[in-house]
Amino acid sequence: MGNIVEVIKTMAQLLKYANENGVIEVVTRGKNGRIQKMSKLLLENATKNDVAKQQVANKLMGALSNANPLMSGLNLAGTAANTAIGLKSLQMLGVITKLSKFNLILSGVNLCATCAGFAIMFKKLDRMSTKINEVLSAVKTSHKIYVDYEFKKVLSEHSNMLDCRRLQKPYSEKEMRELVDAECNVLDMLIEAFSENSTGDEETLIFSIYSLASMLAASIMYFDEIYYFNNKEIITDGKTWHTSHSAWMEVLNKITSDEFVARIQDHGMFELDLSTEENDYFYKGLHNQILDLITEIEDNQTLLTVFDDEINYKNYFEILNQDIKETVAKAIEDSDVSTDDQEISKAVNDAFEKLAIA
Amino acid sequence: MEKKEFIKKTILNFEEDLFSDVKDRFATKDYITFSFCSMNFVSREIFSEKLYDYFEKVEINTSKSFDKLLEKYMSNMDSLVSGKIAKAQKANKKNPNPIVPRARKYYDKADERRKEKSFDNLIDFSRIMMCLYTAIIKNDKKEITDMNYSSDCLDIETIVDAMEKEQAVIGKAAKFNLKDFYDDDDFTFILLTVIYYYIKNNVSIGEY
């Protein structure tokens, strides 16, 4: 890097410093040369800020679909058109509130990415682990799988991984990859069991599949982060990601297949006796959850390569989290809800903690 | 069910873009026409009044109440699909629990919805029937074992074109008499069209 200072006179000159997402990062350094502050500038009409925008939107929706009824009453869906549809969606969710697991699944990935959030999922999943292990045993026997993948072990290890991240204790690339492999294999077997209709308890199976998909997505993103920054200097063949990455994504894609979605539609129609309108919200909500997970993994990979530096990558999330907190605070203010109220303040802080933006 | 309730829950609730599509469709098929006013300037309220008047005229012309007309509509829709849905095999010693074809399960579900003529039941019945009929059309009018439940697979033009070409008996007259605009066959087509757009109007955001 040279010491030439360029005087900017036109937008075109400025634009050449924008990255592929249309973001110009401005760094302020202290006297010792270390980064003190990083600002990002999004250029007007820059179409490639969609990644950042979608990240904010996803996190916001995660906060809103939290089971807290106060939070679910707020609608930050954005435009007026979306607000009307969003309100109807919330009403429809109210119709299906007997499906508390459905609401829990919708906030899945955000709950599986932090200790505080995962604690909620863990309790429910742990209670189901005996039933799920029976299903896994049946699949293993019928497919002659001899490796011991136990659901409870996977839950426990995911919890351990999150705890290590929270306390900033070492969790190696190898351990992370083994966790992703284990979650992937268990998920694959559960999908197989559900597709073959070989178990009587469909609701448990559906909940465990979507929960595990959320866990897997969180794990893949954390693995990608570790893998990229450990290996980017030595990757020379353009194959940036681990060779198993496409196989892991393939398992998630199975949940979006026509055959799988048809099984979910049937469950809503015949087991839950939903109306066609309710069933649309049910199966599309679950389907969109997986599509969002896949998009989030891909967006995360984009962010990793865009920033290309661990400090900048982490700083980006700090800035993002601050954006989210400010947006939620404004939404609360616009809804005439007072955060002086202890209960409201606690609900907001709990939601932020679950989203790891506290 | 009252005809007013039906119109309130459908036309009066349609979003702007979809309501434009409804008007285009009705204009194209000459279902409802305006002598002095361009369709472009017709509001939901004006359209609803016209549709309500149409329903009233059909009731008078056929001497059937709205509920009876709904029964006829359901019977018409049922006649399009009932003979083309694969049946479950009979249980026997070798096969005590035969698999029921998916299409048959949905058909039976639709049949349950016929019992009580509420708005929700009417929508559920119609949605399933349209999906079944669409699957039959795609299978060259042959028997089906499965169907696509997603509302994205539905296309009103495909459904109505196929219905217009249906014959009561192969080689004989058309199944639906569409010459008298105020009879129950035309009523079937118009009701189906409104319900189709209701289903499209309530499609959730997102793919699938």
* Confidence class for position A106, pLDDT limits 50, 70, 90: low
* Confidence class for position A46, pLDDT limits 50, 70, 90: very low
Residue B34 is encoded by which pair of tokens? Answer: 């305006």
Q: Is the pLDDT of residue A74 over 50?
A: no
In this structure, the strands spanning A23-29 and A35-42 are antiparallel
Q: Is the pLDDT of residue A255 over 60?
A: yes
Computed on alpha carbons and rounded to an integer, the radius of gyration of chain B in Å comes to 18
Q: How far is A83 from chain B (nearest CA, A)?
A: 12
Backbone φ and ψ of A61, nearest 5°? -65, -35
Q: Is A203:A101 a contact under the CB 8 Å cutoff?
A: yes
Q: How far is B149 from chain A (nearest CA, A)?
A: 8
* A75 in B contact zone (CB under 8 Å): no
Among the residue ranges A18-22, A317-321, A343-347, B166-170, the one predicted with the least confidence is A18-22
CB-CB under 8 Å, B205 with A82? yes
Residue in B105, B124, B204 closest to A281 by CB: B204
Using DSSP, state whether A40 is helix, strand or coil: strand
| Element spanning A129, H or E | helix A115-142
Size of the A and B interface in Cβ pairs below 8 Å: 47
pLDDT tens per residue, range A184-214: 999 998 898 888 876 667 888 888 899 899 9
Between A107 and B94, the higher pLDDT residue: B94
Among the residue ranges A74-78, A198-202, A341-345, the one predicted with the least confidence is A74-78
CB-CB under 8 Å, A269 with B109? yes
Among the residue ranges A33-47, A71-85, B88-102, B156-170, the one predicted with the least confidence is A71-85
Nearest alpha-carbon partner for A190 in A282, A291, A263, A96: A263
Biggest CA pair distance of chain B? 70
* A283 in B contact zone (CB under 8 Å): yes
Query: How would you write A10-33 as a 3-class SS string?
Result: CHHHHHCCCCCCCEEEEEEECCCC
* Percentage of chain B exceeding pLDDT 90: 67
Q: How far is A194 from chain B (nearest CA, A)?
A: 16
CB-CB under 8 Å, A269 with B120? no
Residue A148 is encoded by which pair of tokens? Answer: 């011991």
| Selected residues 109-138 of chain A with any CB under 8 Å from a CB in chain B | none
Among the residue ranges A226-230, A276-280, A338-342, B58-62, the one predicted with the least confidence is A338-342
* Percentage of chain B exceeding pLDDT 70: 95
Best probe of the B interface among A87, A257, A266, A280, by most B CBs < 10 A, is A280
Q: Is the pLDDT of residue A127 over 90?
A: no
CB-CB under 8 Å, A277 with B120? yes
* Confidence class for position A61, pLDDT limits 50, 70, 90: very low
pLDDT tens per residue, range B24-45: 999 888 888 888 888 888 999 9
DSSP A131-157: HHHHHHHHHHHHTT--S---HHHHHHH
What local confidence, expressed as pLDDT, does residue B53 receive? Answer: 95
CB-CB under 8 Å, A291 with B149? no
What local confidence, expressed as pLDDT, does residue A118 receive? Answer: 75
* Confidence class for position A66, pLDDT limits 50, 70, 90: very low
* A171 in B contact zone (CB under 8 Å): no
* A39 in B contact zone (CB under 8 Å): no
Q: Which amino acid, one-letter code, is at A47?
A: T
* A270 in B contact zone (CB under 8 Å): yes
CB-CB under 8 Å, A89 with B205? yes
Q: How far is A231 from chain B (nearest CA, A)?
A: 36
Between B119 and A207, the higher pLDDT residue: B119
What local confidence, expressed as pLDDT, does residue B95 receive? Answer: 80
Q: Is the pLDDT of residue B206 over 50?
A: no
Between CA A189 and CA A136 the distance in angstroms is 6
CB-CB under 8 Å, A89 with B149? no
pLDDT tens per residue, range A7-32: 676 655 666 676 655 667 676 666 56
For residue B113, the chain A residue with the least C-alpha distance is A275
- Predicted ipTM of the assembly: 0.89
Nearest alpha-carbon partner for A106 in A204, A183, A214: A214
Q: Which residues pair with B167 in a beta bridge?
A: B174
What local confidence, expressed as pLDDT, does residue B62 receive? Answer: 94
B120 neighbourhood in chain A, CB within 8 Å? 275, 277
Between B137 and B32, the higher pLDDT residue: B137
CB-CB under 8 Å, A269 with B208? no
Task: Output the average pLDDT for chain A.
Answer: 72
Residues in CB range of B31: below 8 A, 6 or more apart: B25, B189, B190, B193
DSSP A270: I
A287 neighbourhood in chain B, CB within 8 Å? 206-208
Q: Is B177:B119 a contact under the CB 8 Å cutoff?
A: no
* Confidence class for position A70, pLDDT limits 50, 70, 90: very low
B206 neighbourhood in chain A, CB within 8 Å? 284, 287-288, 291
Q: Highest mean pLDDT range out of A92-96, A112-116, A147-151?
A: A112-116
Q: How far is B195 from chain A (nearest CA, A)?
A: 13
Q: Is the pLDDT of residue A305 over 80?
A: yes
What local confidence, expressed as pLDDT, does residue B178 receive? Answer: 78
Between CA A280 and CA A100 the distance in angstroms is 17
Mean pLDDT over residues A129-157, rounded? 73
